[in-house]
Amino acid sequence: MGSPLTLAKGLPLLASYVLAAASLPDKPADLTTPVQQRIAINGPNAISIGWNTYKQLSKACVYYGLSVDDLDLQQCSSSSVTYPTSRTYSHAVTLSKLTPATTYYYKIDSANSTIEHFFSPRVPGDKTPFAMNAVIDLGVYGEDGFTINMNMSKRDTIPHVKPALNHTTIGRLVANMDDYELVVHPGDLAYADDWYLKGKNWWDGSNAFQAIIENFYDQLAPIAARKPYMVSPGNHEATCGEIPLLNEWCPAGQKNFTDFMTRFGQTMPTAFSSTSANETAKVSANNARVLANPPFWFSFEYGMVHFVMIDTETDFGSAPDQCGGSSHLDGGPFGASAQQLEFLEADLASVDRDITPWVVVSGHRPWYTTGCWDCSACKPCQVAFEPLFYKYGVDLGIFGHVHNSQRFQPVYDGKADPNGLVDPKAPMYIIAGGAGNIEGLDAVVGKPAYTAFAYADDFSYGKVSFLDANRLQVDFIRSSDGATLDTSVLYKSHKTQFVI
């Protein structure tokens, strides 16, 4: 017997008439109607707007302005891209020269589109407190996601999701819309490669993959169309199926992070020019701009924070998803040899702590984690990244991949920093991988000595609040009822202008 995908190719008629098949969303009557909207911080005064349509557009435009009644500005692009097996075309425009920290209204040009709004980015150095959410390993709801309790571990039991949406984590992000200004999601977005976990998809694998992607990004749009939604890749973005047998048969378009690249390649930033007066910092930031490779690795600044997004899947020694890697996902490389690590070093070296006292790095696979039945710390990631985190004084590392919430004492090389949460030299690490997905939560089995918190009873996510230049608060929030499960405050005096 061949893989489900080989069968799918031979049985199109049977698939249509006899067997259950992929749950593709209905197309809007007007095929120019925007779907799957997402925005991102694209520069110090810039927001990029990405969306898809079910037909190719020769000109993709956004109208915007400071009031609903006066969308007097316009930005267009002629790029309308797709890939084999996709039903949609991806578009992106960048709105630049925005007044900082201001509400803008925008309408993607189409007869039936609605007016949305966003808050423009805070300039680097703005010390106004703000919060962001860390949401990782999210996944789709509905027929291809959480409809059945398959009992491998805890899953949600919500029966069906209409566009009105009832995903406990997405629902909480909607309910708490006024409490945060952006979201970071380093990897494992739709879980389209888990299509085979639903028997009805077995005869229609290639469509099932796309159906999950379409449904997921429709479900995410209420958040991502309004709050900058900053992503980097996870293993579930890599191919059509995580198991090597399926992987061999992946159709073109469902290999090598194709949807991820097409969807976010034009909306994520590279790295900002430095606003420091220091020439060395400016040169270093310019090097980082050249070495950045969005949507895989890049950085941005927002108020008092310098954020870096890294790729824990490809592009460093023994990276798990690269050709010949331990995951057998055969992706990448996306840059020149050592480019990602050179980027990270140049980027971190450029940070002027008088301007952005906080440095936060987000990636998918952690190197500090509690155990679980099939997951472990990413040792090659630790070898590649941890020395740079330590040397350049990264304050907080945000990861996922393990499906639960975890917080660790600041730690370096497996040893807790003796200073704890008050001026540690080592970074503090959290895992916010319990947001929900078809694979369910990972039970906590075995806690390293430096574990401060671990929770796997229900879906949850992380909220990070930058209180001032010296205090950063992390809360873990239970998605179902909004309860705070854990709170901690990291204190950093940030007395050194350049930690190098």
Q: Which residues bind ligand NAG (CB under 6 A)?
A: 28-30, 33, 112, 149, 151, 164, 166, 256, 278, 280-281, 323, 330, 332, 334, 349, 498, 500
Q: What's the closest the beta carbon of residue 76 comes to ligand NAG, in angstroms?
A: 21
Pick between residue 85 and residue 120 the one whose CB is nearest to ligand NAG: 85
Pick between residue 93 and residue 165 the one whose CB is nearest to ligand NAG: 165
Q: What's the closest the beta carbon of residue 263 comes to ligand NAG, in angstroms?
A: 14
Q: What's the closest the beta carbon of residue 294 comes to ligand NAG, in angstroms?
A: 13
Q: What's the closest the beta carbon of residue 500 comes to ligand NAG, in angstroms?
A: 5
Pick between residue 86 and residue 120 the one whose CB is nearest to ligand NAG: 86
- Closest C-alpha among 414, 463, 494, 476 to residue 180: 463
- Closest C-alpha among 463, 339, 449 to residue 398: 463
Pick between residue 112 and residue 419 the one whose CB is nearest to ligand NAG: 112
Q: Does 34 sit behind a cis peptide bond, omega within 30 degrees of 0 on the bond before it? A: no
Instruction: Please name the residues in contact with 485: beta carbons below 8 A apart, sequence gap of 6 or more.
Output: 405, 453, 455, 460, 475, 476, 477, 478
- Closest C-alpha among 119, 90, 121 to residue 106: 119
Q: What's the closest the beta carbon of residue 30 comes to ligand NAG, in angstroms?
A: 4
Q: What's the closest the beta carbon of residue 33 comes to ligand NAG, in angstroms?
A: 5
Pick between residue 112 and residue 487 the one whose CB is nearest to ligand NAG: 112
- Closest C-alpha among 283, 437, 435, 271 to residue 361: 271
Asked if residue 462 lies in contact with residue 484, where contact means CB atoms within 8 angstroms, the answer is no
User: What is the CA angle 66-69-75, rounded to 5?
Assistant: 60
Asked if residue 102 lies in contact with residue 119, where contact means CB atoms within 8 angstroms, the answer is yes
Q: What's the closest the beta carbon of residue 430 comes to ligand NAG, in angstroms?
A: 27
Sign of CA dihedral 118, 122, 128, 129: positive
Q: What's the closest the beta carbon of residue 98 comes to ligand NAG, in angstroms?
A: 29
Pick between residue 170 and residue 304 the one whose CB is nearest to ligand NAG: 170
The letter for the amino acid at 161 is V
Pick between residue 81 and residue 489 the one whose CB is nearest to ligand NAG: 81
Which tokens in the block code for residue 190? Answer: 């739709």
- Closest C-alpha among 190, 198, 166, 184 to residue 230: 184
Q: What's the closest the beta carbon of residue 435 comes to ligand NAG, in angstroms?
A: 16
- Closest C-alpha among 55, 133, 124, 57 to residue 93: 57
CA atoms of 311 and 15, how far apart (whole Å): 37
Pick between residue 99 and residue 326 the one whose CB is nearest to ligand NAG: 326
Q: What's the closest the beta carbon of residue 493 comes to ligand NAG, in angstroms?
A: 18
Q: Which residues pair with 53 in a beta bridge?
A: 89
Q: Which stretch of DSSP H or E encloses residue 217? A: helix 205-224
- Closest C-alpha among 477, 464, 449 to residue 172: 477
- Closest C-alpha among 406, 411, 409, 309 to residue 361: 309
Report the greatest alpha carbon distance in the chain. 69
Pick between residue 278 and residue 318 the one whose CB is nearest to ligand NAG: 278
Pick between residue 11 and residue 158 the one whose CB is nearest to ligand NAG: 158
